[in-house]
């Protein structure tokens, strides 16, 4: 599954979906929306397991897939990418330029999560500069 996400010729919506799943599984529960933070909402691999290690290693490529999806002509890909990046916090810093570009997207399901992601990125950067 993770290998498919990294394959640039794969179906875009499928790649974005897998990237979202990687982000949800590897994010701290405190970063997740209430729906996903409920016990049993996600099938999270056991701590220290090889499966969890593979998901954690896939996090940076997932962020890259989501960053690319912000430029998609497909509304659902842009929405999903912006939403997942808003969960990433400072890890989404490589997506900052693309996130700034979609702030003007007329679709609020893209622009609002993009603004949230930028706030989390910039807030963390501000704290480290103090």
pLDDT at 40: 64
| Range of weakest confidence among 9-13, 14-18, 38-42, 54-58 | 38-42
pLDDT category of residue 126 using cuts at 50, 70 and 90: very low
pLDDT category of residue 37 using cuts at 50, 70 and 90: low
Encode pLDDT of 77-92 as tens digits: 999 999 999 999 899 9
pLDDT at 125: 46
pLDDT at 124: 53
pLDDT category of residue 66 using cuts at 50, 70 and 90: very high
pLDDT at 84: 94
CA distance 2 to 51: 11
């Amino acid at each position: 599954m993770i290998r498919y996400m990294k394959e640039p010729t794969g179906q875009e919506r499928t790649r974005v979906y897998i990237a979202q799943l990687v982000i949800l599984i590897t994010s701290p529960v405190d970063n997740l929306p209430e729906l996903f933070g409920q016990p049993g909402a996600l099938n999270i691999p056991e701590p220290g397991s090889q499966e969890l290690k593979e998901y954690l290693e896939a996090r940076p490529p997932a962020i890259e897939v989501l960053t690319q999806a912000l430029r998609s002509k497909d509304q659902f890909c842009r929405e999903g990418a912006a939403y997942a990046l808003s969960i990433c916090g400072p890890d989404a810093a490589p997506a900052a330029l693309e996130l700034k570009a979609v702030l003007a997207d007329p679709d609020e399901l893209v622009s609002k999560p993009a603004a949230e992601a930028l706030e989390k990125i910039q807030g963390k950067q501000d704290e480290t500069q103090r």
